[in-house]
Every structure is written in C-alpha cells, then in structure tokens.
Amino acid sequence: AQSVSQHNHHVILSEAASLELGCNYSYGGTVNLFWYVQYPGQHLQLLLKYFSGDPLVKGIKGFEAEFIKSKFSFNLRKPSVQWSDTAEYFCAVNALRAAGNKLTFGGGTRVLVKP
Amino acid sequence: DGGITQSPKYLFRKEGQNVTLSCEQNLNHDAMYWYRQDPGQGLRLIYYSQIVNDFQKGDIAEGYSVSREKKESFPLTVTSAQKNPTAFYLCASTAGGSYNEQFFGPGTRLTVL
C-alpha cells in the first residue's frame, strides 16, 4: 500500500521568509502528485499538481513544487511567504494503477506566518 | 455556482446513535469520496463511489455506510459501531479518470457526546 510522509507537522516563520515543505511517498509505480491547502475556515483547495512532463510545477499564489522521482519526493516551495499563507498544507498521491482515482494524503503541515 | 455542499456544518450526537451526513454536488462528476480528517493524520478515505449504485470501501470503512442512488448525492452514515466518530468529515468529487483533481466540500464537524 502506498503511503505519504510530510516531515514537518508545524512550521512557524516570519513574512518574507522562504518556505519549503517536504513530502515523500512510497510507491514504485507511476503516480500523480498534488498539494492541497486548507486556509482557516475554508474548503480544501488544489494548490498545484504534477502528472507528467517538467518536474518543476508552478501553482497558485506563487507556490511551486519539484518532483524528484529518484527520491520519491514532491517538495513544496515558496520564495517569500505572506501572512495570508497561514494554512494547513497536504501532499497527496494517486497511484495510477489504483482503482477509483484514490488519493493518499500525508498528515499535513500547519504553517503559521507571523506578520 | 457549481460546487459541493455538505450539511450540516456542525453536528452533535449522543453516543450510540447513528447519524447521516449529507453531500451533494452539481458538478456532474461521476466519482465521489468521503474522507475523515483528524489532527496530524491528514485525510483518510472512508468510502468512494465511481458510479451510481456502486461504491467501494476505503481504508477506514468500519463503522460507516454509504449509498449512491443518485449521481449528485453520496450520503455517509456514521453508525454506532464506529468506535471514535468525533472528527471532521470531508466529501469530494472528481470527473473521473486518473488525471483529474478532486474537489472538496466545506466539511461537517461531528462531535459525539
């Protein structure tokens, strides 16, 4: 069975600092990769996704993620965070051979950006 | 506006009672999903349905039941057999296929007293 690990449960940083959130998955086959974000009081929404092609993908609000196949990683980055980036971030993986387009989620990382 | 609605937003029940959570989508999506969110554990899949009148167990289906009688509706029943039902429940849908993202509803927070 596939699993997804997010290394940091909580991250606290100041505005303008750079952010990197780690995500590793365990599955040997072809995968689709996602980062979702849950802002306080809001729906879970898609931040970015990787299906194929350029391993560096850009998402909304200045976020990007890099897929490194050899490391089974899909880390999320933002060069300069804002207070409005305070949220919980979830990495998710869809194994293409799995039935039902099921997603396996990591445990989430709560990010607090201090103004 | 297309989207997914879940009701109610907050739900309180006494221990031993069954409770049904509503999920409706008007996105014309084929597949629907129920997740449970607990602090530090991310989202865990309870049940999913790829087509009307068909559904499959997810990773933590024990103590839950679902139905899919209509394309737009996928209600989840939390039964008294669920040992730890207090959680945040999220419903999602997707158009189907492996290259489509899942869209999420606002969630229902269930508290069992």
pLDDT digits (tens, 9 = 90+) for A29-83: 888 999 999 999 898 999 999 999 999 999 999 999 999 999 999 999 999 999 9
Amino acid (1-letter code) at residue A15: E
| CB nearest A43 (choices: B35, B45, B104) | B104
pLDDT of residue A40: 92
Cβ–Cβ contact A32 with B under 8 A: yes
What pLDDT, on a 0 to 100 scale, did the predictor assign at position B55? Answer: 96
Q: What is the pLDDT of residues A85-108, one digit of tens each?
A: 999 999 999 987 767 778 999 999
Cross-chain residue pair B99–A32, CB shorter than 8 Å: yes
Partner-chain residue, chosen from B42, B98, B105, that has the shortest CB–CB distance to A90: B42
Using an 8 Å CB-CB cutoff, list chain A residues near B45.
Answer: 102-104
Q: Does the beta carbon of B31 lie under 8 angstroms from any beta carbon of chain A?
A: yes
> From the list A34, A99, A102, which residue is nearest B101 (CB)?
A34
Q: Which residues of B touch A36 (CB under 8 A)?
A: 104
On whether the CB atoms of residues B75 and B59 are closer than 8 A, the answer is no
Please list the ranges in chain B whose pLDDT falls under 70: 1-2, 97-98
Specify whether the CB–CB gap between B58 and B65 falls below 8 A: no
- Of B89, B85, B96, B88, nearest to B75 (Cα)? B89
Give the whole-angstrom CA distance, residue A80 versus residue B107.
30
Sequence letter at residue A45 = Q
Look at residue B1 in the predicted model and tell me its pLDDT.
Answer: 60
Q: Convert B17-52 to b/e letters by CB count within 10 Å (16 or more is b).
A: eebebebbbeeebbbbbbbbbeeeebbbbbbbbbee
User: What pLDDT shows up at residue B96?
Assistant: 72
Beta carbons of A107 and B41 less than 8 Å apart: yes
pLDDT at site A91? 97
CA of B24, closest CA in chain A: separation in Å?
15
**pLDDT of the residue at B41:** 86
